[in-house]
Structure 1
């Protein structure tokens, strides 16, 4: 039986979703978890104001990742978390959005549970839900869409994946990590039968200062991403519900398209 003198008896992992970016979208449970932390292992897009909820003495460890470079492989992050728990620390693993939506939260929970150590999960507002709501873009709507799907646009073998039925009449598709592969995504969806004039929205830095909400059609997605110099973090929403959003239209005119090709 564990005792207070046993470090492992005290240590645990709390996997916390930090929401889409705005510190005001943290849940009360997330703030409570941060206040307990001895160690905070956090992703790169976490606002400093979120980290301020942890005690001043808590160790803050960034495991920030970029598209081209990972500071630590996932296995090393898992080992880092486990090592601190075994030393008796309460470790808050802080992730953007919700940790179980393209956040590798499931992998980290598996790694901790495999060692027999305690772990709990505090859900967060996912990027798709938070950013779409800010843009007044309902992902479902009685008159427009009765289904919504989430996919990762940054993955190997994109053209071979089966996305049939995920978008189209009465359906909404939300694409995470799709900025770099936007042109390929548009081509894939049109080859799968979606109409070139299907509305598309791109929400860049949703809920954060300087956010942009832009709207075009599927055939122009790649062109718009390039013209507007969209950068991550951003989500792409495909479907008729996009017409209900407050996004600004950015469909290129024929003259703009000609200049882009020149």
Structure 2
């Protein structure tokens, strides 16, 4: 029998009796999948690992605390034999054959009537990998193939077209700080499945080059505004494409809700009756300092960090930031979108009590190949920005944590 390849099949075990002999490491690895399948699991073993015992205590399996006995496999649909007793394994295997119960043996694959594939899942798809022969099986090679396929499905590098109608809608995807490797797995998969991508300038642009030719990529900064404000035009573009039955990804830099106006887009979509998925992203407020060797908190130095928008100056009537209160804090202050306002921000902080010697770091193009870090103090940052020609996008870190780590990229 071993000369022929195994016939792959998916077993529907919900409510059906499954017998597992042995409560050791093999059972511990295999039981979760059987539990997830809804099987009526009976474990026969005098002992069990703490994890297996916890499954029994939780009522997920029925544990018979004794060795294998003739008749244990009666009425079973499937059996896993994994004891350390070779004689018991052989007798149980013979019983399974007599009762026509498909049986896996952890100690002797050649003697088994079924093999357990290396399995993994991604978004409703289960990948199961089997070698073609019992002899010479390499479980590590099989698992490596499984991992490569599942990872490809999860990160969008392995994409198969959908032949059934997909539900149209919009995904607000946080693309992270700029490095394409820092987008979430879910975000990358949704991007790979999109029909239309409306992208911000600060999103991970390198990912757009990987999209299939049929995907329409729209630069949000170049949407014709007409009589609408910029954000209204973006909202309308999202709605228009979704109503055409397309899968739309709104690719944003950082996280959609951290100064990203994601909620405005979500509200507009909700009012239009368009389903929307929000995928969080890694915010530049913590990732960019980290990439430059700066921890936003550190034991004995900073027990708090505050993230504020610097797109309007402290003396601007539109500002919602309580700068005098921020000046009194001892923790880290992270300013986004504040390069051109940093002079007035620094003056305000110093005027309300922050030391002019407080360290400041400006990290430009963080996490990308063009990343650079410029250091200053509150007293010198305004002139430093001009002298060093610091340009947006840049994350500004103010506080003693700037001096904690080694100077330069971590």
Q: Identify the TM-score tier after normalising by the shorter chain.
A: 0.7 to 0.9
**Number of the residue aligned with 2:242:** 85
**Number of the residue aligned with 1:145:** 302
CA contact under 8 A between 1:40 and 1:58: conserved in structure 2?
yes
Closer/same/farther in 2, CA of residues 44 and 118 from structure 1, 3 Å limit: same
Supply the distance in 2 between the matched residues of 1:39 and 1:242 (Cα, whole angstroms). Answer: 41
Which is further off, 39-48 or 163-172? 163-172
The alignment covers a number of residue pairs equal to 236
SS in 2 for 1:225: helix
Does 1:171 pair with 2:328? no
How far off is 1:72 after superposition? 6.3
Query: After the TM superposition, which residues 40-51 of structure 1 pair with which residues of structure 2 at under 5 Å, given as runs?
Result: 40-51=197-208
Supply the distance in 2 between the matched residues of 1:165 and 1:36 (Cα, whole angstroms). Answer: 46
SS in 2 for 1:116: coil
CA contact under 8 A between 1:44 and 1:62: conserved in structure 2?
yes
**Number of the residue aligned with 1:57:** 214
Q: What is the TM-score of this pair, normalised by structure 1?
A: 0.84
**Number of the residue aligned with 1:203:** 363
Closer/same/farther in 2, CA of residues 159 and 193 from structure 1, 3 Å limit: farther
Q: What is the TM-score of this pair, normalised by structure 2?
A: 0.55
**Per chain length, whose mean CA-contact separation is higher, i.e. which structure has more relative contact order (CA < 8 Å, sep 6+)?**
1
How far off is 1:45 after superposition? 2.9
Q: Deviations over 1:77-132 (max 9, x none)?
A: 10110011111011000001111111111111111111121101111111111111
Supply the distance in 1 between the matched residues of 2:342 and 2:188 (Cα, whole angstroms). Answer: 35
Query: After the TM superposition, which residues 18-37 of structure 1 pair with which residues of structure 2 at under 5 Å, given as runs?
Result: 18-37=175-194
Query: After the TM superposition, which residues 216-235 of structure 1 pair with which residues of structure 2 at under 5 Å, given as runs?
Result: 216-235=376-395
2:396 aligned residue (236, 239, 260): 236
Does 1:112 pair with 2:269? yes
SS in 2 for 1:245: coil
Supply the distance in 2 between the matched residues of 1:159 and 1:83 (Cα, whole angstroms). Answer: 36
Closer/same/farther in 2, CA of residues 239 and 159 from structure 1, 3 Å limit: farther
Structure 1 runs not aligned, ≥5 long: 1-6, 66-70, 249-262
How far off is 1:245 after superposition? 3.5
Which is further off, 45-54 or 230-239? 45-54
**Number of the residue aligned with 2:291:** 134
Supply the distance in 2 between the matched residues of 1:244 and 1:181 (Cα, whole angstroms). Answer: 25
Structure 2 runs not aligned, ≥5 long: 1-164, 223-227
Which is further off, 43-52 or 151-160? 151-160
Bigger Rg, which one: 2
Runs of 4+ in 1 over 4 A off after TM superposition: none
